[in-house]
Amino acid sequence: MLDAIRGDLKIKTYVSYVLAFCISVISIVCIIIPQLNALYGLDGNIAVNYLIRLTIPFQHGFDDVSAIIHLIVNLILLWFLGTYSEKIIGSFRFLIISVLSCLLFVILQRLILSLGQGFSPIIMTYAGILLVVITQSKYIKTRSIFEDYYRTIVSIEIILWFVLPIIMTFITLYYDSNSNLLSSIFLGNIYHIMGGLFGLLCGLVIKSHINKKLAQYTRKKYITHSKLDELAFYISFVFPLYLIFVFFYHPA
């Protein structure tokens, strides 16, 4: 079942594509034109304008190399986790959860006043949702646990929840040599952990919806979504439009 859903091209994931487009364009353009770092992301400045602060999920890295690596990793994870979450829960719910996750990240980043940026906390939100998906798939009368995509998601989840925290601790130490180990563990992982827990909470809230869609595909070999899911693609253009607005408004 999970393999079939992954390969079903009739289930659209346009919101994921819009998000991928935004993070790619902003991150790459800021590498090509470094002056734009003053408008997108933090650019090493904790006390940025609130309009700029809303762009931090879309900007990656603190230098060109880290930006490219961070962007590529997030695009890969967005492909595996984001598009799959959207296929199952529908584009509208996916869009709402993505917006709320971005806001949670921005608000938490403002409260802590650290330099974290990038789409990773929202990726972790999708990981939290898929924890519920793979758990519920075992209760549907299929052999999902033996499918390739089930094993793929489980492998990614293990890396994100158990390996990534170690990596992020040392990355934080590398970029802030004055911080001690405990603060590096906290600052390197707080956004990812909160994003993942938020996704898990969202998944539990819409668990009945997830079960309904998994059962529907098991019985009928397709998933139907609502008119709101079709509309979500057009609503998602608020992301690129806002980023364009910031470019022309030039907040100080």
Q: What's the CATH code of the domain at 96?
A: 1.20.1540.10
pLDDT band (50, 70, 90) for residue 171: confident
Domains identified in the chain, total number:
1
pTM, whole model, 2 decimals?
0.94
d(CA 121, CA 24): 16
pLDDT higher than threshold 90 for residue 142:
no
Query: Averaged over 99-109, what is the pLDDT?
Result: 95
Domain residues for the domain of 177 are 2-249
- pLDDT score for 36: 92
Residue with tokens 């919806």: 209
For the stretch 167-178, what's the b/e string if a residue is b when 16 or more beta carbons lie within 10 angstroms of its beta carbon?
ebbebbbeeeee
What is the pLDDT averaged over residues 165-194? 80
DSSP at 57:
G
Structure letter (DSSP) for residue 82? I
How many residues does the structure list for the chain? 252
What span, in angstroms and rounded, lies between the C-alpha atoms of 183 and 9?
A: 44
Is-contact 202 97, C-beta < 8 A? yes
Higher-pLDDT residue of 181 and 225 is 225
Averaged pLDDT, 28-53:
87
